[in-house]
Structure formats: C-alpha cells, structure tokens
Amino acid sequence: MAGFFRYGILTLFLCTSLSSPSWADKVFVPEPQSPLQDSDVPQVDDAQERLQLSRELHDIKRVKESVLQNIDNVARSLPRHEQEDFKKYIELNVNFDDLEEKSIAIAAKTYTIAELKAMIAYFGSNEGRSAEAKGREYGEKFGIEMEREINKAIAAAKFDEVGGQPHSEPSMDMLGK
C-alpha cells in the first residue's frame, strides 16, 4: 500500500502518457469531406481482420518496447536511490501482456481497416520508422519550449498584473479538440 502512494502520481503519469498516441500519429489528421451517414458505414463484420491488422501494427510500432522505455524514462526522473524500486514496483504490479492485448483490442475497435493499413504502410516504411524514432527527441525539445512558456505565464500571473489581451487565443486544434 505504501508503494502505491509513493509511486501513485508517477504511475498515473506513466499510464496517461502510454494511453496517448505519439506525436507522429497526430502529424496530419484530415477533416472528413462530408459526415458519414449510417448507410455509408459497411455493415460487414470485419472485426477479425481489424484485430489481425492491429496486431501487425503493434508489432511494427514495437508498442511493448515503447512501454518499457517510458517506464525507464519515468524512473530516471526519480532520485537515483528510488529508481530501481520504482521499476520493480511497476514490473510486479503491471501485467504487460494483458496491457498489450487491451491495446490491440482497443486499436482494432477504434480504427477502420483502411486506417490500420495506412498506419502499417507508414510505420513500416523507412520514413515512418525514422519519424517515429525522432518522436522522443521532438517531444523533449518541444516540451522544454512549452514548459518555458507556461513558467513565464505562471510568473506573470504571480508577480505581474494580470490583465489585457492574451498573446494568442488557443484554437480548438491546439487544444486537441
């Protein structure tokens, strides 16, 4: 029980970071030309094919390796003397095989056959693998810039008079909605 409270926040952070797709998944998301009507959606049960494609995508993207890398990254943010305990805590309390099966099933239910095939083609290509490998570097660099701007805003709110107009209005795209 003490381990949960000790590592609860980090575990929660790890889980939420694992549940969100990598930045490369969000590079280009076109708006549909026209909303689909119920009559436009195929009524064929393609669940088995989507499940097979989802497994293939997970193999290509090496999702399990990514999960383990994220755990290592979180552990490195802890004081050195707590890092091994944290990793052991996660290893003992997370069923990685079950988590991977859930991820495969969720992807199969979420994406269409065409979307899964497109992701397999992209992430299976040299360019896709290269872009995915650079995702961590991009995230670290952009994270520093984002943190810098947020810290400036917090300092301004604390020490300056808050008023006036914002530098820019966040758009729905910026907010991920």
What are the backbone angles phi and psi of residue 42, rounded to the nearest 5°?
A: -60, 140
Question: Is residue 87 exposed (0-12), middle (13-18) or buried (19+ Cβ within 10 Å)?
Answer: middle
* Assessment of whether the complete model's pTM goes beyond 0.75: no
The 8-class DSSP code of residue 25 comes to G
Tens-digit pLDDT profile for the chain (177 aa)? 444 444 544 444 444 444 444 434 443 444 444 554 444 444 567 999 999 999 999 999 888 888 888 888 889 889 999 999 999 999 899 898 898 999 999 999 999 999 999 999 999 999 999 998 898 889 889 989 999 999 888 888 877 656 666 666 666 665 555
